Structure 1
Amino acid sequence: MSNSPLPKLSPRQRASHKGDFGRVLIVGGSKGMAGAVALAGISSLRMGAGLVRLAIPEPIANLVASFEPSYMTVSLPTDDGVRGSIRAYHELVKEIEWADVVAIGPGLGQSKDLAQLVRWLFDRTEKPAIFDADALNMLSPLDLSARPAGPRILTPHPGELRRLAGKPLASRDEQIKAAQSIAAKLGVIVLVKGEGTAITDGQTTALNTTGNPGMATGGSGDALTGIIAALVGQKLSPLEAAILGAHLHGLAGDLAAAELGEISLIASDLPRFLPRAIQQYQRDTASPV
């Protein structure tokens, strides 16, 4: 396991503009799950993304837009009034052309139509893409015979990893070995959530040491997805973005728990405490004068 120093973000130049810090597209949301995609979008903004768009089903567009005025929303057609449809394909192609990085999964829901979209996005788009939650379930079990067209980060919890691998994974050691195998065969990054989150590209494996049990609450993974997407948009490699994203996500949770307690911690606290986590990380990694 690697204990390398944390990746560093480049200092921001005074003449910078929003296009310098990444255009993030997050595809997700469904009726009853509007908060998940909003959490991902807010977390991406708090992590420094220059521009964030949420591609969401039209019936929840106004609700999602109401959570945060700083991101943009794109309405996608539905067939059932609940979740996205294959008819969203042409709109998504345009949005992916705009984006520097794509994340798919928070609050997405599952259907045959969505499974086609997820599979197409995983196989065909050349843009870096993060797959989480329902997007992972619709990829399961993974086809390990063909590599995707672009960089991929998969962020499963142990149950999702078991479905991706298509076999039981009884211990943490088995989970990490399965993640390493998937990463090596497909050329992707796999981040396995849980105590001591493991991040691997099949050769290097890092274990995250931040985080606490208070983060075992709905929406925490959506925040992580947004954080990692923002870091990819800021030119970190997929492996670096996953390692640093897990660290900062856990550190934000630790800072929130120190003030609020583990029992009272909720997922929306994570983007709220993320600025403090970033500041602490910057202090800890600052070069000596």
Structure 2
Amino acid sequence: MQARLWQTRRRSGASGGRRSFAVASLAAMCAALYAEVSHSAAWVQEQGAGQAIVTGIYARADKAFSDDGSQTGAVDFQKGAVSLLIDYGVLSWLTVSGTAEFGSDTSERLPFRRPGLSNAALSVRAQVYRSDRYAMSVEIGGRTEDAYGEADRLVDTFGWDSPLLEARWSGGANFELFGRASFADVSAGYRYRTGEGPDEVLLDATLGVRAFDPVTLLFQSFTTVADGDIAAISVRQKAQASVVYDLSEAWSLQTGGFATVAGQNVLAERGAFAALWYRF
């Protein structure tokens, strides 16, 4: 997930005043595997301003979490993907976000190549409260995914998965941690699948610390729980850490790593990512 650090400078000047350390949650997945870009946040963009973030990730898994939460078996999974996030402030209280991913998976020697668009999402986020220290927003949107891409002919599954409708609530606060400007952001959401397949409950959390100019440290947690048939229940708990380096007022570079630290009926993934942000 990418933090919107540029909001600090636009509201407080290049010194990055601590009262306005308004950073949103990372475009994570930039971070979460399967490009579950989590761009919901307590803060919205300023009217007429926005950002574009390009993220590249690589992940692999050689184990999986069983239905009792223990790691079991030898699996062979790899993923490479590039994702794009665009966030734009239409009004002072309303932000529009769009994401898209292009990528390829390899699972047990079966390639799931996606040379074109493999998933896309569009959402609107509205500010419902904001002060110098606290912020709150709500978001609603939809996403669609192509689960198999070029492997359709091998697995006899064609077309796109059922679209997902998503609603989120996000809350955040600015504060000091060990004398450093910091923020925390939490987000709770629900994804409703319009066709076959489980719905999902989402819970994300982000802690950001301005270690020193121009470096910000980000620590995140992403939790997804499938809310469907008991036989298909899955839980994924993913942790991520990254460093954001401001190259200029307009450009930033983010690098980090992530891993699935707990789960049920999911892969034990681990990987790395890099992202380039452009603020306009």
Instruction: Please state which band the TM-score falls in when normalised by the shorter chain.
Output: under 0.3
Larger Cα-atom Rg: 2
**Whose strand proportion is higher, 1 or 2?**
2
Task: Give the TM-score normalised by the residue count of structure 2.
Answer: 0.26
**Whose helix proportion is higher, 1 or 2?**
1
